[in-house]
Amino acid sequence: MLKAVKNGKPKNHKECMDALVPVQDALYVLNGKWKLPVIIALRKGNKRFTDIQKQVQGIAAKVLSHELKELELNGFVERVVYNTTPVTVEYIVTDYTDTLEEVITALHNWGLAHRNKIRAQMKERKAG
Amino acid sequence: MLKAVKNGKPKNHKECMDALVPVQDALYVLNGKWKLPVIIALRKGNKRFTDIQKQVQGIAAKVLSHELKELELNGFVERVVYNTTPVTVEYIVTDYTDTLEEVITALHNWGLAHRNKIRAQMKERKAG
DNA sequence: GTAACTGGTTACCATTAGGTTACCGGTTAC
DNA sequence: GTAACCGGTAACCTAATGGTAACCAGTTAC
């Protein structure tokens, strides 16, 4: 009877792939600890390298530099250089970044709810 | 005049932190390449180790094992062992996992749209 | 003159994530 | 007997991530 199961696909295989693949596509672009935080800081009006670095606490300059390049490659950010002295560099979010709004909102809401859940659990432990 | 800017916070600092922190909380729990794909496979009805591994293509047994443990710690999954011979192990998603639905949907939709955008860009390049 | 700021880059190192291979004990299929 | 399945684990490796410190050129503050 096991033989019947052996080489079988898992349940709902095709349906499941349809659900999986797009999410994996999204994660491929938004991978890592910093991409979304940097995008959020940019969307809130921070355009200068050091402003972003101050806002996204804990990010190293090297890492920020790297993330900004990747975001530029993926069309989320444009790097604009003004020839003032010293040169001024601004990072501007593109319209395409606005398409992430739903994703960011969902993560934001979930993060808030999750934090509340954790707090409630800690209270329980204290009370119990 | 630079001195006035020097130690200043970036624009909308507090407002920006309010937007950032919850997203970072969420990313902290959902980090890595595999957590959400594994959760999706589970939610589609795959309960057995090998079923999940077959469904989430490319994941190594070691990594899956590790991810399932983390998901268990975070309360997304329960590991149930039946003492059949050989033992049967099932991973069951908890109700708490349902709270991720919005996040998953948002990423799913964005992933689909992003793939279409990339395809359109490639067509453009061919045409241009 | 000296120091600190700007927007980074480079070199180097530590940590972590992820992947490969082999293997365990017990079972079923052939 | 042989092979494959199950749910993993252990040892080992690479690749990605992240951190530290030094440095660039030009400018301002003292």
The answer to whether the pTM exceeds 0.75 is yes
**CB count, 10 Å around CB of B82?**
8
Between B49 and A83, name the one with better pLDDT: B49
Q: Write down the mean pLDDT value for chain A.
A: 88
Sign of CA dihedral A58, A64, A67, A68: positive
Eight-state DSSP code of residue B10: P
pLDDT given for residue B43 in this prediction: 95
Nearest CA in chain B to A37: B20
Residue B63 forms contact with A (CB below 8 Å): no
Rounded Cα distance, A22 and A45, in Å: 29
Q: How far is B40 from chain A (nearest CA, A)?
A: 7
The whole-number pLDDT of residue A12 equals 82
At A8, the pLDDT band (50, 70, 90 cuts) reads low
For residues A79 and A2, the answer to whether their CB atoms sit within 8 Å is: no
The pLDDT score that the predictor gives to residue B88 is: 92
Residues lining strand C, beta carbon within 7 angstroms: A 1-3, 48-50, 61-62, 65, 79, 86-89, 91; B 2, 5-6, 31-34, 58-63, 67, 85-86
* Ranges under pLDDT 50 in chain B: 1-7
Return the residue in A46, A110, A112 with the most chain B beta carbons within 10 A, the one to mutate for interface testing.
A110
3-class state of residue B116 by DSSP: helix
